[in-house]
A and B are shown apart, each in its own frame.
Chain A
């Protein structure tokens, strides 16, 4: 499925009056695809193979959970004991050894701020690029899109120097502001706004609405499904971020959860029950989020695919 078809599907859905659910439709369609019946043997083997593949991918997660409730003696035996010992004290032990609440708080603060900034900047820039006419629009759009080509690793050295020059080293700011605009977000919203009928805005203009009111009271509510995708994309990026906050900060007071987890791994490297407990309680929130918002995650994959189109 190409991004063009995705936007076309959206446009069709909108024309059919299903304005608020185009992305759900796209997600649902790809997640539950009717396929072709294969040969009889394949039909018998297929469910077994599917179950095997699914379980194989779950093994590391299950092993993490099992080790997190294993007793220390069980961990250091070979062959390993595969059945859980239900020793939940590992969680208390791991929780007491690091300032996890601070890490969680920092992650929520940083991810929340990044999401808020990204939503605002994407709405504004996406609106301007889709619906307004101004000089240098093409060049500016190209400039924004080109930002996507730069790998994060390339940016580490210069931004480390810039962070120190700005006095932003080891602060929340350096973890928030540079990620406050997203090419993916701008592109996705521009694409969405392009699908809206021009009459909508002409009518608003007749009513005397300026561009700002048009953006925030007419366009933004309609863009809700795209905004969810953009928010989710930024939130996940922020939560999973490691190398940037690792380089740009040094104190626990501002460090996010994954950097904290790495530090815990550094000091407790052989306490496997404690480590697996820590990995579990830092990762289960993300897994829960995924299970609740699965369709949006999947649609997001096609959104990323779309964001690479010029």
Chain B
């Protein structure tokens, strides 16, 4: 009986998640023929060889660097900003609740939809972003078409979209920490800054680690905003791992090589997930 209850879910996972994961490893050892599977050729580790020697365009190392740029900015920027916002909005009250709603609202919007809005905001000639720049006395910037500004522009959009989620996690974390410690610190003459770093932050550390891991996993896989806003360009300047995987497989039709990229992405994600399991376990212990 129990097996019958589990069977539907298990079947779906086996056929569409677990099986395909194993299959990805298989595909990564083939020169996969898109149109005629009979011509698939086993090539062993040749696809991985291409990762290492950087013979593909863009070279794998460049893709990793691009991903590192995006993930790093999202993790550092996202964690710092959302923690600051959680501190700002931590008290109850109408204004704060409304502000939290506005921040979280950005997070629930579909990526395709709001990416389009932000492409308009970053429009090189008529965009809102350049209006703000002109107030600062900075001449018009071709945000998405310039290799220096394309990635920062996508990062700004992605921060706008993701910060609501991590802010809510921090707000939740703040409810569990002790208010007595903070009161004691204040009686001892701590100012707000000292209180934050010496009392609040140490208690919040497990949540901070959790947010760091979650946002690195999420930003490592980011795809839609790159697809919509830059198409990986200019050149390959914003072609992150998640985007490259799509582009190599479905645009350049180098399926085997793309599968090798997928294996790498899978490996990094599993490593991060294990880290996450460990941190959430310790989070449970501390709480």
Interface residues in chain A, defined as those with a beta carbon under 8 Å from any beta carbon in chain B: 1-5, 29-36, 38-39, 42, 46-47, 49-51, 53-55, 57-61, 63-64, 67, 75-80, 120-122, 124-125, 127-129, 132-134, 137, 140, 143-144, 146-162, 177-178, 180-181, 186, 211, 215, 236, 239-240, 242-243, 247, 258-259, 261-262, 265, 272, 275-276, 279, 282-283, 286-287, 290-291, 294, 297-298, 301-302, 305, 308-310
Contact = CB atoms under 8 A, between A and B. Distances in A.
Contact of A309 (B8, B134, B281): B281
Contacts of B283: 2
Contact of A2 (B24, B88, B287): B287
Interface in B219-277: 220-221, 223-224, 227-228, 242, 245-246, 249-250, 255, 258-259, 262-263, 265-266, 269-270, 273, 276-277
B13 interface: yes
B165 to A, nearest CB: 6
Contacts of A286: 108-110
A150 B21 contact: yes
Contacts of A247: 246, 250
Interface of chain B: mostly helix, strand, loop or mixed: helix
6 contacts: A32-B92, A120-B8, A124-B9, A155-B24, A283-B114, A301-B168
A146 B18 contact: yes
Nearest to B14: A143
A263 to B, nearest CB: 10
Contacts of B131: 78-80
A120 B8 CA distance: 9
Interface of B: 1-3, 5-6, 8-10, 12-13, 15-21, 23-24, 27, 85, 88-92, 95-106, 108-114, 116-118, 120-121, 123, 125-128, 130-131, 134, 140, 160, 163-165, 168-169, 171-176, 179, 182-183, 186, 191-192, 206-207, 210, 214, 217, 220-221, 223-224, 227-228, 242, 245-246, 249-250, 255, 258-259, 262-263, 265-266, 269-270, 273, 276-277, 280-281, 283-284, 286-287
Contact of B269 (A149, A156, A180): A149
Contacts of A3: 280, 284
Contacts of B175: 1, 29-30, 33
Contacts of A32: 92, 97
A206 B127 CA distance: 70
A72 to B, nearest CB: 12
Contacts of A159: 16, 20
B13 A144 contact: yes
A153 B186 CA distance: 49
Given A54-B98, A61-B109, A261-B116, 9 more contacts: A31-B171, A61-B117, A121-B8, A132-B1, A140-B6, A151-B221, A157-B249, A178-B16, A286-B110
Q: Is the interface of A mostly helix, strand, loop or mixed?
A: helix
A154 B99 contact: no
Q: Which 7 A-B pairs have the closest CB atoms?
A: A54-B99, A158-B20, A35-B91, A1-B172, A178-B16, A54-B102, A181-B9
Contact of A155 (B20, B134, B182): B20
B168 A154 contact: no
B87 to A, nearest CB: 9
A287 B110 CA distance: 10
Contacts of B250: 156, 160, 247
Nearest to B249: A157
A157 B262 contact: yes
A200 to B, nearest CB: 18
Contacts of B286: 2
A103 to B, nearest CB: 12
A189 B16 CA distance: 22
A57 B105 contact: yes
A94 B281 CA distance: 50
Contacts of A211: 1-2, 5
A291 B20 CA distance: 38
A2 B92 contact: no
Contacts of A143: 10, 13, 18
Given A57-B106, A125-B5, A178-B12, A33 B174 contact: yes
A57 B118 contact: no
